A = this chain, B = another copy of it.
Amino acid sequence: MRAAIAACAVAFALVSGADARELPRPETFTLRNGLQVVVITDRRAPVVTHMLWYRVGGADEPRGSSGVAHFFEHLMFKGTRRIAPGEFSRTVARNGGDDNAFTSQDYTAYYERIARDRLELVMGMEADRMRNLRFSDETFASERDVIAEERRQRVDNNPGAVLGERMRAMLWPHHPYGTPVIGFLHEINTLDRETALAFYETWYAPNNAILVVAGDVDAAELRPLVERHYGRLRPTRELPSRSWVSDPPNVGPMRVTHRDEKVRQPSMSRTYRAISYGTDEGRQAHALDVAIDILGGSETSRLYRALVEEQRIAVSASAGASTGGLGGGSVSVYATPVEGVSLERLEAAVDEVIAVFLRDGPTEAELARAKSSLSAAAIYSRDSQESLANIYGTSLAQGESIDDVVNWPRDIEAVTRDEALTMARATLVLDASVTGWLLPEDEE
């Protein structure tokens, strides 16, 4: 499926530290119609990655039309006046390329990787479908069924996904992040063509897009192509605001238990509200990323060592920070007990690990290890034109600047023990959390 809901794509924004202490700085320019262009030159091979990022996602959907952003990710492959339905991907493949697309709360992105001399081919097709999408009523209805089926498979048949969806709704009671990107089934089933088209015509516009091209090309070479294909596209005159509604203050710890016969292995998770790169000040998100890596980012983390290795009460134990969001972030903790250990006991042990961490803070060794772990991932990303394109596209679409990305490794390295501890203490607060238990149908 091309319809990867890229809730996890934000993780890319985190894996960008580097021993060189900087990520490569791309060239940039902006067309008169507002299209922002980012060029990451990489001459190692005659290939290019062409990614078009729209500053629109699930969080921008009209109330009652959840799923429409992701629906468009599908419809974009259904043809224009020039391109027949399904022909887009077939053309890319016939030319030795690869294409994909994904939707998050914050953005929708379209991706092609292809030989350098076919760049203009995919660019022409991508520019064409920005404004000229065509689909029949039959296509609309049948694709709606495809998406409903996708939801059933990904969410409704997956008890962990069902639980996670409700936990997000509880964590974001008013903010649109509480509504799933894939959409509620009853709203997918009643999406109408008129609402969908209005969404497309408003948001799919050059002044709401970021074109990232990485690979065997530079800005001087690229600019004439971009002008030719994207330059004449009409901008949307008054782009709607992306200032989403925000949540009321925390009230206290929330919990939810989900039982399902398909659950083989009980587990617990907890999600805390957090700042994000889109909402923080100074180095707060960097400090939080470091702190949560120490708490649960790897098999050397606090949670893993305590619960899996020392106490031997958990099969797995981890924590992760979702700090990419334009509208805020979250931190999640997961643990799965060994046979015979109750979720109650496991949760108490998780709470104890967190309490000690918040009391004493990380050691200098842990701090250094976390920073270099984040850096190592960044080193890897510099070697992949796709990863770099992804990092720049995600970060820009989520409200960061080129400088924020370039300096990310340096800023991670600068995080102090105090900064990490302060952010951990500000974030790992039960009053700002939802705890979820996943259990088999008949287990107490």
Contact = CB atoms under 8 A, between A and B. Distances in A.
Interface of A: 63-64, 162-163, 165-166, 169-170, 173-174, 178-179, 184-187, 245-246, 248, 251-259
Given A170-B254, A254-B254, A255-B256, 14 more contacts: A63-B245, A163-B251, A166-B173, A166-B254, A170-B173, A173-B173, A174-B179, A185-B248, A251-B256, A252-B256, A252-B258, A252-B259, A253-B256, A255-B255
B64 A166 contact: no
Contact of A174 (B169, B253, B254): B169
B179 A184 contact: no
A142 B409 CA distance: 49
A157 to B, nearest CB: 13
Nearest to A244: B64
A362 B407 CA distance: 70
A186 B244 CA distance: 13
Kindly name the residue among A162, A186, A248 whose own CB sees the greatest number of chain B CB atoms within 10 A.
Answer: A248
Contacts of A179: 174
Given A166-B173, A169-B173, A173-B169, A186 B248 contact: yes
Kindly name the residue among A163, A165, A169 whose own CB sees the greatest number of chain B CB atoms within 10 A.
Answer: A169
Query: Which applies to chain A's interface (DSSP): helix, strand, loop or mixed?
Result: mixed
Nearest to A178: B173
A256 B257 contact: no
A178 B172 CA distance: 12
Identical chains in the assembly: 2
A184 B174 contact: yes
Nearest to A169: B173
Nearest to A62: B63
Contacts of A257: 252-253
Nearest to A179: B174
9 contacts: A166-B252, A169-B174, A173-B178, A186-B248, A251-B256, A252-B256, A252-B257, A252-B258, A255-B255
Contacts of A251: 162-163, 165-166, 256, 258
Contacts of A253: 256-257
A165 B173 CA distance: 11
Contacts of A255: 254-256
Which 3 pairs from chain A and chain B are nearest by CB? A169-B173, A166-B251, A252-B258
A248 B174 contact: no
A333 B30 CA distance: 60
A187 B254 contact: no
Contacts of A64: 245
A393 B210 CA distance: 54
Kindly name the residue among A63, A64, A251, A254 whose own CB sees the greatest number of chain B CB atoms within 10 A.
Answer: A251
Contacts of A162: 251
A160 to B, nearest CB: 12
Kindly name the residue among A64, A185, A186, A254 whose own CB sees the greatest number of chain B CB atoms within 10 A.
Answer: A254
A179 B246 CA distance: 12
A252 B439 CA distance: 11
Nearest to A162: B251
A169 B251 CA distance: 11
Kindly name the residue among A178, A187, A255, A259 whose own CB sees the greatest number of chain B CB atoms within 10 A.
Answer: A255
Nearest to A176: B63
